[in-house]
Amino acid sequence: MTEFLPVTKQEIEELGWDRPDFVLVSGDAYVDHPSFGVAIISRLLASQGFRVAILAQPEFRHCKDFSRFGRPKYAFLISAGNIDSMVAHYTAAKKKRSDDAYTPGNKAGRRPDRAAIVYSRLAKEAYPDCPVILGGIEASLRRFAHYDYWEDKVRPSVLTDSGADLLIFGMGERQITAIAQIFADGGSLGDMADLPGICRLAGKEDKVVRPKSSIFCPALAEITKDKKAYALAAKLQLTEQDHIRGRTIIQEQADGLYLIQNPPASPLSRQELDRVFALPFARTYHPSYESQGGVKAIEEVEFSLIHNRGCFGGCHFCAITLHQGRHVVSRSHRSVIEEAKGFLHQPHFKGYIHDVGGPTANFRGPSCEKQKEQGVCAGRLCLTPRPCPSLQADHSDYLKLLRELRQLPGVKKVFIRSGLRYDYMLLEKNDAFLEELCRHHVSGQLKVAPEHSSPKVLALMGKPNIDAFDDFARRYKEISAKVGKEQYLVPYLMSSHPGSTLKDAIDLALFLKARRMRPEQVQDFYPTPGTISTAMFYTGFDPYTMKAVYVPRTAEEKRKQRLLLQYYKKENQGQIIKILIEAGREDLIGYGKDQLVPPDRYYLYGRGEKKPEQREGRERNQNQRQKQRQKPEPKSPKPKGIAGKSKGNKGIAGKKTMKKGK
C-alpha cells in the first residue's frame, strides 16, 4: 500500500526530517485521492523531492496545531478544502448543516467558517515570518472583492482579509511547481510577482502595479456603493479568465492597496495531466479515521474516473469558468485505463465503475480549432443561446474510451452518472453515442440538467432553450426502447434563480406534470462567490446586458417556488392550493390533466365561495352517494318454514333461494 504523507511530528522524525519544506493545511480530512485538490498538490510536490506534511482540519480556536511540525522551511499552503467552507456549513436557506461528508464520521463543525481566512491568520500567529500561500476553491473564487451571501454584503479579497502573502487561483499545479522551485533556488516572494495564475497585494509605490497588458476593475469602494459597477466588475473578471488573451486585472481594495491578478496559468497538457493522475495516491482516507467512521466523501469517487478538466458550457451559476476555465483538456486513454485497472486490485471493488466524467462528462477537447490559438471567445458562449457555427460536436473519442473500459477483465459495468450536456449530444450527426449510452452506461435512470423551462430564466442561466430537452427526452426514450430497456430521465432543476418569478415556477410545475416528471430533489439557487448568477442576485442586473433582472429574495417566495416543483407530494397539496389562489390561478386546482393539484377538504367546503366548474362532477357523485346512504334499508324478512318461502323476500337472494328450493 502507498504510504501516506506525514501527519504527526513523530512521523516527521521517523522519516529523518528536521522539518518539512511545506505544511499543507486543509479544511477537509486527509484523503489521498486525485479528486481532492490537497492530495494532488501534496503528491506533486513530493514527487519533485520536497518534504510535505499534512495538517488536516487543525484546531482553529488557537494556533497550537500550526506549530505541530515546527516552522516549515518554505511556506504554509492553505486550502479550505474541496468546497467553500460556508457552503459546507450552510444550506441555501442559510440553515446550519448537521453533517459534513469531508469530515470523519460525517460530523459537522470540524472546520471554521471562512476557513481560508482563519487558517492563514493562525499560521501567521504561529510563525509571523513564514510565508503563507492560499489556494483551493474558496480562495480562488474569493480572490476579488465579492458579494458574500451569508453576510449579505460585499467583502474585500480573501487575500486582504487573511493576511496571506500570495494566492494561487485555478487548478494550481503550474503555480506551485514554480513557487517551490523559486524557494529551492533561494528566491523569495518578490521573485514570484509575475507568475501566471497568482494574485498578490501591492501599494501605490510598487512599480509593477500597472503592467503593460493590464486593466483596472471597479474598486471595492465603488462596487460596494454602486451595484451596476459590481455587475461590470463581475463581467470583466469572467471575460479575462483565459490563458491566451487574458490580461492582468487590478482592483483597489483600500486606499493605496491594490489586488493584482496576473493572467491565468496555462492548463496542463494531456501528458502533464496524465503524470498528475499517475502519482502514487493511496486512493483512500488516512487510516487514523477508520475508528471514527471513515470519510463519506470517498464513496462517490472511489471507483469513479475523472477524464477531463475545464468546461466550455459556461453556465452562469457555475464556478468552473472562474476556477478551471473554459479550455477543456482530457487525459489519454492509456492513463484512464491504467487507473481503472488499479480498481481491480481493490478488495471491495465489485466490477462497477460508477462514473467516467469531469465538469462535463462528454467534453474531450476544445470546442473549436480557433480556441487553441486565439483563446475562447469573449462575450459569447459556445452552446447558448444558440450553438456556435464553429462548434465541433464529436463523441467518437469518448465513445472509444468507454468501449475500452467495458472490455477490461473484471469490469461488469461502466456508468455515466451525471454531467452530460444533452444539447451537445443533439448536435452530433448520428446517434452512435446516445445508443451506446442507453445500451451500456445507464443504470435505469440518467441524470440531466434542464434546470428550468422558462426561456427567459434559461437565458439568464446560460442554458439552452427547453426545446432541446424535449428533443433529447424523445430521442432518449426511443433509443432506450430500441435497445430493449425501460429507462428514465431524472431532471436536475433549480428554483428561485434570478429572473424566475412565481409565474415562471408555476409554468415549470405544469411543464413537469405534462411530461410526468416528479423530481425528488430540487435545488434552490445558491449565490456562491464568483459567478455571474450571484452578480445578478446581488445587483438585480444582468452583467452582459445591464438590463434589470427580477430576483426572488425572501425566504417565503423561495419556499413557494420550491414547493411548486414538487406539486405531486400530498404533504404539499394544501400549501400549493394557497399559492395558486394568491397567484390568481385557481383554474389549476382540479382533477384535469392540465391542472396541478386536486382540491382539498378546506378548499371544497371551508372557504364559503362558489365552487369552480371543474369540481361539479365530483360533487354530483358525492351527493348521489350520500343520498344512497340515507335511503332506509328494507326490513329483514321473518323466516317462515322453508327458506325463501316468505312473501316479503323479493330480493335477488330470495329468488336464488327459491330456485334452489325448486
Domain annotation covers residue 508: no
Q: For residue 99, report the phi and psi dihedrals to the nearest 5 degrees.
A: -140, 170
CA dihedral for 572, 573, 577, 583, sign (positive or negative): positive
Domain annotation covers residue 519: no
Rounded Cα distance between 20 and 31, Å, is 19
Which residues have C-beta within 8 Å of that of residue 78, sequence separation ≥ 6?
Answer: 25, 116, 119, 120, 123, 132, 133, 134, 135, 136, 139, 162, 164
Domain annotation covers residue 192: yes
Torsion of CA 105, 109, 110, 112, to 10 degrees: 160
Q: Cell for 582? A: 394568491
pLDDT of 618: 59
Expressed in angstroms, the distance from the first to the final Cα of the chain is: 91
573 residue type, one letter: Q
Domain range enclosing 35: 9-204+251-261
Question: Which of helix, strand or coil describes residue 407?
Answer: coil
pLDDT over 80 (residue 277): yes
Which residues have C-beta within 8 Å of that of residue 314, sequence separation ≥ 6?
Answer: 321, 326, 381, 382, 383, 384, 462
Distances 577 to 31, 560, 590, 593 between C-alpha atoms, Å:
48, 11, 10, 16
Contact 80, 119 (CB under 8 A): yes
Domain annotation covers residue 23: yes
pLDDT band at 576 (very low <50, low <70, confident <90, very high): very high
pTM of the shown model: 0.88
- Residue-wise pLDDT tens digits, 425-482: 999 989 999 999 999 999 899 999 999 999 999 999 999 999 999 999 999 999 999 9
DSSP 387-402: --TT-----HHHHHHH
Contact 508, 491 (CB under 8 A): no
Number of separate domains in the chain: 2
Statement to judge: residues 329 and 255 lie in one domain: no
Statement to judge: residues 257 and 315 lie in one domain: no
Contact 142, 157 (CB under 8 A): yes
Statement to judge: residues 21 and 162 lie in one domain: yes
Statement to judge: residues 257 and 307 lie in one domain: no
Statement to judge: residues 331 and 428 lie in one domain: yes
- Residue-wise pLDDT tens digits, 466-515: 999 999 999 999 999 999 999 999 999 999 999 999 999 999 999 999 99
Q: What is the CATH number of the domain that holds 42?
A: 3.40.50.2300
Statement to judge: residues 190 and 307 lie in one domain: no
Q: How far is CA 580 from the centre of its chain?
A: 31
Q: What is the CATH number of the domain that holds 412?
A: 3.30.750.210
Largest CA distance in the chain: 122
Task: Output the average pLDDT for the chain.
Answer: 90
pLDDT of 662: 34
Domain annotation covers residue 282: no
Domain boundary among 411, 443, 475: 443
Q: What number of CA atoms fall less than 13 Å from residue 363's CA on the CB side? A: 25
pLDDT band at 20 (very low <50, low <70, confident <90, very high): very high
Q: Cell for 42? A: 501534496
Identify the bridge partners of residue 306 per DSSP, sorted by sequence position.
357
Statement to judge: residues 194 and 58 lie in one domain: yes
Q: For residue 152, report the phi and psi dihedrals to the nearest 5 degrees.
A: 55, 50
pLDDT band at 210 (very low <50, low <70, confident <90, very high): low
